[in-house]
Amino acid sequence: RFVPEVERFAGLTVWEANPKIVEHLRAVGALVAAVPLTHSYPHCWRCGNPTLFRATEQWFISLDRDGLRARALEAIKRDVRWFPPWGEERIYSMVAHRPDWTISRQRVWGVPIVAFYCRACDALLLDERLVEHVAQIFRAGQGADEWYAREAGELLPAGTACPKCGGRAFRKEEDILDVWFDSGCSHAAVLETRPELRWPADLYLEGSDQHRGWFHSSLLEAVGTRDAPPYRGVLTHGFVVDGVGRKMSKSQGNYVTPQELIPKYGAEVLRLWAAAEDYSEDIRLSDEILNRLADAYRRLRNTFRFLLGNLADFEPARDRQSYARLDEVDRWILARLGRLVGRVVKAYGDYQFHTVFHSVHNFCAVDLSAQYLDIIKDRLYTSAADDPRRRAAQTACYDIFSALARLMAPILTFTAEEAWSYLPGRPRESVHLELFPEAAREWLDERLERDWERLLEVRREVAKALETARQQGGIGSGLEARVAFVHAPEDLPALLQAKRDLLATLFIVSRVGVGPAVGAPLVRYESQEIPGLVIDVERAPGQKCARCWTWSERVGESREHPTLCERCLPVVAQIR
């Protein structure tokens, strides 16, 4: 119903008053048109009944009188990093076009607006001295409850008089501060009252709805009182939804808690999920997604296990090889590791945790498992324990493990710590006492990377040729084969010639040659990916070494060890 102050319509319900208002407008000549409209109407979120807006007196903070809006807009552009970057334009537009800030609310309890009114003349009493006096009462007593427990005279300094009429009787303001103003002050309440913290905050992070909420109110409050934003960075994330993108809800039966997921998948997989998803969008969660990440976790863990297993007899102080003594493939993987370290450390600084995960996972799955670790197994398993080339491979493995454990420690907290405890000669007991790795300058060799990018392209084509021969029954494994390059595009012959000593190891075959096969090849493979590359696959000559499984024409030369090749004989002799 309309309140008594409303002329002509006092006491009427809105529905009763509507036609009378139209008639009054028509009578005074103020009605332009009267047309029925169907439109959406606000409803109470709690009870569902329609609501009405009533204009009442409120407290405001002016956005333009003291240049608050302009200063806030400048701070958004100049002083804050926004993650993702579109957050900057979003909040900038909101601040630029918003009205003055209504900071009062009509509630029975909250942080009071410290203002008083003269009972005689209704003059407002509000100044800094008065606010500080009431604040001291709050600090000494029960906080804001003191406002509600005391009369106005008990809150005012002794002898307070109305500056307008001299009256000494006052009433308290009944409005409270908007709770968004409360939250906007949290930077001061937390950061400025604790000596171990510092102002401004390094980062505020919340959902995207907080551009008009906490991020917004904190910015205006801090710029208004301190002329600076309360944060150096603001990160906005989406909301967790189910596997098909629906909002999680208990009523829909798709709501899950960490307490339900951790017993099934473990805390590490749950953290990996949080890091692996792009938080700038809504984040999907389902058993299928977690199972996929559990597989990724096992791959990362198995990488740690393989590296540590091959470092069991490695003491860095005793066995470490200089960079100059590393094999070329060792130097290549360190170049790749250096790129990874730079990319991942930057991603952490930019809060791009999904880039961290995908970069490390791809490095483990492709650069390590599918390439480097496959190539060095022969060196690790068949060389003498103290062979410098084996120690070179271990040196690279040590640097790889040390870097990966530190890079993943913020995400795979327990796994990194457990794995680190098995690292020989570890510099500190806990990986969490370490700093992020830094790539040695000598690791970054662009020419080496270019050469190996091309060699690995060739390796993939050789693998296809070997697989064709295997499917046709000509060979069982690649070590039974000799690979011959019948023809190659003009950039390859010089590269293959320069790298001829490592090609058999790179391709994991027994022999590599240039020119057609000696007899009829098992397979002649013409590459579709590298035009002009033609590869013959034939059986390698000689016999299979019982120890390293390579085929050699010199197997059987030793009476004592007739099943071993010329490479394995001296190694076995050392063992004796």
Q: Is residue 322 part of a domain?
A: yes
- Average pLDDT on 6-27 reads 92
Contact call for residues 550 and 479 (beta carbons, < 8 A): yes
Closest CA to 327 of 256, 400, 260, 394: 394
Q: Is residue 222 part of a domain?
A: no
**Range 496-502 contact pairs with CB under 8 angstroms and sequence separation of 24 or more:** 496/458, 499/328, 499/451, 499/455, 502/327, 502/328, 502/329
Q: Is residue 333 part of a domain?
A: yes
Tell me the whole-structure pTM to 2 decimals.
0.83
Which domain-ending residue is among 443, 472, 504?
443
Closest CA to 472 of 521, 401, 414: 521
Which domain-ending residue is among 28, 55, 82?
55
Same domain, 292 and 437: yes
What SS3 state is found at 72?
A: helix
Mind listing the pLDDT tens digit for each residue in 208-236? 889 999 999 999 999 999 999 999 999 99
pLDDT at 249 over 80: no
Percentage of the chain with pLDDT > 70? 100
Which domain-ending residue is among 22, 39, 55?
55
Distant-in-sequence, close-in-space partners of 160: CB < 8 Å, separation ≥ 6:
125, 130, 168, 170
H/E run at residue 234: strand 233-237
Same domain, 435 and 482: no
pLDDT at 264 over 80: yes
Q: Is residue 158 part of a domain?
A: no
pLDDT at 460 over 90: yes
Same domain, 433 and 331: yes
Tell me the CB-side half-sphere exposure of residue 335, using CA atoms within 13 A: 17
Q: Is residue 122 part of a domain?
A: no
**Structural domain range at position 297:** 287-443
First vs last C-alpha separation in the chain: 104
The CATH code of the domain that includes 385 is 1.10.730.20
Same domain, 435 and 464: no
Mind listing the pLDDT tens digit for each residue in 353-365? 999 999 999 999 9
Same domain, 439 and 465: no
- 518 vs 42, which has greater pLDDT? 42
Contact call for residues 525 and 468 (beta carbons, < 8 A): yes
DSSP code of residue 437 = P
- Identify residue 355 by its one-letter amino acid code: T
Backbone angles phi, psi at 85, to 5 degrees: -60, -30
Same domain, 428 and 476: no
Contact call for residues 256 and 273 (beta carbons, < 8 A): no
Looking at residue 315, what is its pLDDT? 97
- Average pLDDT on 54-58 reads 87
Looking at residue 385, what is its pLDDT? 95
- Average pLDDT on 242-270 reads 85
Rg (CA), the chain: 37
Looking at residue 520, what is its pLDDT? 86
Same domain, 510 and 364: no
Round to whole Å and give the CA distance between 328 and 332.
6
Looking at residue 3, what is its pLDDT? 87
Same domain, 327 and 384: yes
Look-up of token digits 């499984």:
549
Looking at residue 358, what is its pLDDT? 97
Question: What region, left, alpha or beta, does residue 556 occupy, with left being phi > 0 and alpha being psi -120 to 50 degrees?
Answer: left
- Average pLDDT on 452-467 reads 97
Same domain, 294 and 422: yes
Q: Is residue 268 part of a domain?
A: no
- Average pLDDT on 237-263 reads 84
What SS3 state is found at 443?
A: helix
Residue 251 banded pLDDT, cuts 50, 70, 90? confident
Same domain, 319 and 403: yes
Mind listing the pLDDT tens digit for each residue in 283-304? 999 999 999 999 999 999 999 9
- Average pLDDT on 484-504 reads 94
Contact call for residues 128 and 140 (beta carbons, < 8 A): no
Residue 175 banded pLDDT, cuts 50, 70, 90? very high
The CATH code of the domain that includes 480 is 3.30.2320.20
Closest CA to 571 of 311, 436, 321, 387: 387
Q: Is residue 361 part of a domain?
A: yes
pLDDT at 253 over 80: no
Looking at residue 275, what is its pLDDT? 95
Same domain, 520 and 396: no
Distant-in-sequence, close-in-space partners of 423: CB < 8 Å, separation ≥ 6:
308, 311, 398, 401, 402, 405
Mind listing the pLDDT tens digit for each residue in 21-33? 999 999 999 999 9
Q: Is residue 358 part of a domain?
A: yes
Same domain, 431 and 468: no
Mind listing the pLDDT tens digit for each residue in 334-346? 999 999 999 999 9
Count of domains forming the chain = 3
- Identify residue 212 by its one-letter amino acid code: R
Residue 552 banded pLDDT, cuts 50, 70, 90? very high
Residue 52 banded pLDDT, cuts 50, 70, 90? confident
Residue-averaged pLDDT of the chain: 94
